[in-house]
Amino acid sequence: MELSRPGFSVYLTLGYPGPAEALEVLRSLEACVDFYELGLPTRRPKYDGPTVRATHRRAVEAGVEGLEALRLLERGGLGKPFTLMAYLEDYLERPGLRGLLEEAAAAGALCVLLPDLPFDYPEMLEWYVDESLRAGLRPCFFASSRFPHGWLLRYAALRPLYIYLGLQPATGVELPIAVERNVRLARRLVGGSYLLTGFAVRRPETAAALIRAGADAVVVGSAVIRALEEGGVGEARRLACSIYEAVHGAAAGV
């Protein structure tokens, strides 16, 4: 399965805001997303900013951690495709990377994004690709805007479901970085590979600018989480729908 172009995705940690409410929140956003990115709760969300880290903590404190979060999806499926995000360091022992990928495939995920793979375990890249394909998944890769160009070229050659370009040092943390320039550069390097952009995207106009710069899709997490905390499901849906409309409008030249 290929992801839609353009695309808009919302990131939420699976199990947040609580085991009973998690699917209800995801379904409330369904009309305004093309696909979901779901994080597997961990005690060590090392590349996430404070807002997303807090959702991992909430889920873990509620008894939802790691692959146990996938049990929530057994209560009823989602109406849109989803990918998973996990930290490889949590799965180096039982059940191992192979077990993680097999469980993800059984739950219906399209891929498992491992943001610590290129930084901490680069020697496992090809094995991850092989194991993803063996499990019936597509590989997907994380890159920061400071990545060596050779890595982006290498990613593109492996025919991933997507390449996720992190625009900032951490989720939800916005620094004065020339993100549109970085997107244009990444697009030249990855060619026709699906380019997903995220980290500290908060406003519809920012998302639209990323699409115009060459991104295929935008993912928003921290801003939706803050809207959910401050204004409930209705406010989270309002923000998601406004960004969805901006993404699709930018792709149509509006």
Q: Are 106 and 48 in contact, with CB atoms under 8 Å apart? A: no
pLDDT tens-digit readout, 57-66: 999 999 999 9
Domains and CATH numbers, the chain: 7-251 (3.20.20.70)
Q: How confident is the model at residue 254 (pLDDT cuts 50, 70, 90)?
A: low
pLDDT tens-digit readout, 186-226: 999 999 999 999 987 999 999 999 999 999 999 999 999 99
From the candidates 21, 34, 37, 65, which is the catalytic residue?
37
3-state helix, strand, coil in the chain (%, to 5): 50, 15, 35
Q: Are 129 and 158 in contact, with CB atoms under 8 Å apart? A: yes
Arithmetic mean of pLDDT, 52-57: 97
Clarify whether 130 is annotated catalytic: no
Q: How confident is the model at residue 39 (pLDDT cuts 50, 70, 90)?
A: very high
Q: What angle do CA 65, 104, 34 make, to 5 degrees?
A: 100
Which 3 state secondary structure label does DSSP give 92?
coil
Distance CA 238, CA 220 (A): 13
Has this prediction a pTM greater than 0.75? yes
Clarify whether 216 is annotated catalytic: no
Distance CA 89, CA 96 (A): 9
From the candidates 48, 90, 103, 216, which is the catalytic residue?
48
pLDDT tens-digit readout, 90-131: 999 877 999 999 999 999 999 999 999 999 999 999 999 999
